[in-house]
Amino acid sequence: MRAALLSALLALGPALAAAGAPVSPTAKLVPASVEAAHDTSAAVDMAQVLDLARRGPDALAALGQADKQDAVASAYWRGAIMPKLLAGGGYLHADREVDIPLYPLGGLPLLEQNSWGAGALAVVPVLDVEGMLYNVRTQDRAAQASALAARQAARDSQFKALGYYLQALELRAKRRALNEFADNLAARSNEIQRLYDLGGVGESDLMKVKLGVDDARAGVRELEEKEGLLARLLAQSLNREQAAWPADLPPELPDAQPVPGDPSERFDLKALGLQMEAVEADQAASEAGFLPKVSALGSYLRTDTKQVNQQEVYTVGASATWTIFDGAVRQAKAKAAGGELESLRQKQRSALLALRAQLDDAVAMLGIKRQEYEQRRQAVEEARKASDLEFKRLREGKVSVNNFIDAEEVLRDRREKAALSQIAWWQEWFQVQSSGGQELLLPQIPSQTGVRP
């Protein structure tokens, strides 16, 4: 058993860096030298994250795409509805004049040595069911869907940034619990050395304590580096260059319960609905492509030539085109639109079912994590008393160093789990709002304290 415990202590640092377990938010778990290693002026709290993440890179990219789609829709509407005016002109110079001989009347001018002409043509769309009605509707719905997608992207950016924020706090909780474990062993090493000098413990017991401290310190350094990575990822999601260190959570959970929303109100699901409307309009446009298209025409032409007896000509009229057969291209487009429509319909249904399941789970987990947090905080106090008792019994020679180390390990574990239960409550709070299509808001909480990274 002692060999197994020694092996566990040797692997303590890496194992704790990979495993997950929570900590008491009120306990000092990291020495001042480690706390001062980070620039606390770059700390952000959750309110700042929610505000800055709205303008994160992903949100801005989606907004740019929405602006583009809106401009495309506007351009298409103008192309389908607005009149077109075209103007042109030309000049011709030949090396000689060319006539058609008409004897005995002379010659008929065929090509003058210098001639020019200019004119304008106005085309006014009158009837185009495919373009004016269905294609315009397709582009309009696509623009609306893109605008909603941009709004959802802003919320997704907030949720992503909060994820980095809370993950960094999880690593911080593990690091602080592990550092406190090392501090406790180091602080009592002098007493264990005294017991060794008196013959109360063996040399292997001293080695176990030293290994426990060294491995725990190594684990602290590894967790510190991972926390720094998340601070940089958080900064990236906030469009900041400098690492953003999360501020500590308040010691108490807010006495609040979010009102579950309706997942169908999420912007991305509404955007899917508009995309389906756009595809339906596109499908109808394919079928309406065989209807005639009518345009009104008006033109003006001015020439400088002897070939005609009028130098200015005005014309008005109309043109009509009617596609009789196009090689079944439109039927293929209509079939493709039908397939896309069914795909979007299934995506919407699948997403709605998944979001409802997430919402129900998050609502239930909020209550569970609150109760779990209170229980684990109490467990921290019990584990601390047990640790003090085992150390006292060690000094009295009633237990071995192994018992003391085991008690310290239990204390570390209880601290970690308490802190992670608190962080998990916050994760579920935002999950309820995100799954329910609601704006991400903080509950009413006391003013947040400064960061202790």
Q: What CATH number has the domain bearing residue 267?
A: 1.20.1600.10
Tokens for 229, please give them.
Answer: 């990575």
Q: What does the pLDDT average to over 366-379?
A: 92
Number of domains in the chain: 1
Instruction: Find the domain containing 206 and state its range.
Output: 41-89+139-278+353-435
DSSP 29-40: -S-HHHHTTS-G
**Does residue 420 form part of some domain?**
yes
Tokens for 232, please give them.
Answer: 């940089």
**Does residue 392 form part of some domain?**
yes
DSSP 288-333: HTTS-EEEEEEEEEEEE-SSSS-SEEEEEEEEEE-----TTHHHHH
d(CA 58, CA 272): 19
**Does residue 51 form part of some domain?**
yes
d(CA 412, CA 183): 11
Q: What is the pLDDT of residue 92?
A: 81
Q: What is the pLDDT of residue 9?
A: 33
Q: What is the pLDDT of residue 16?
A: 33
| Lowest model confidence (mean pLDDT) among 161-165, 207-211, 279-283, 411-415 | 207-211
**Does residue 391 form part of some domain?**
yes
Q: Positive or negative CA dihedral for 102, 106, 112, 116?
A: negative
3-state secondary structure of 319: strand
d(CA 386, CA 389): 5
pLDDT of 72 > 80? The answer is yes
**Does residue 318 form part of some domain?**
no
d(CA 291, CA 205): 93
Amino acid at 308: V
Residue 75 class from Cβ within 10 Å (0-12 exposed, 13-18 middle, 19+ buried)?
Answer: exposed
**Does residue 452 form part of some domain?**
no
User: 242, 269, 270, 233: which is closest to 57 by C-alpha?
Assistant: 233
CB 400 within 8 A of CB 394: yes
pLDDT of 33 > 70? The answer is no
Segment 304-314, tens digit of pLDDT: 766 666 678 89
Higher pLDDT, 189 or 14: 189
d(CA 147, CA 64): 10
293: which strand partners?
Answer: 321
d(CA 245, CA 230): 8
- The structure tokens 């802190």 sit at 419
pLDDT of 363 > 50? The answer is yes
3-state secondary structure of 79: helix
| Lowest model confidence (mean pLDDT) among 126-130, 192-196, 366-370 | 192-196
User: 23, 16, 20: which is closest to 380 by C-alpha?
Assistant: 23
Q: Which DSSP letter does residue 188 get?
A: T
Q: What is the pLDDT of residue 110?
A: 65
User: 388, 26, 22: which is closest to 187 by C-alpha?
Assistant: 388
R_g of the chain computed on alpha carbons: 38
Q: What is the pLDDT of residue 211?
A: 84
Residue 367: its H or E element: helix 329-395
Amino acid at 118: A
Contacts of 72 (CB under 8 A, 6+ apart): 139, 142, 143
- The per-residue pLDDT of the chain, averaged, comes to 83
Q: What is the pLDDT of residue 367?
A: 92
**Does residue 320 form part of some domain?**
no
Q: What is the pLDDT of residue 41?
A: 55
Segment 389-414, tens digit of pLDDT: 887 877 777 777 778 788 888 899 99
**Does residue 100 form part of some domain?**
no
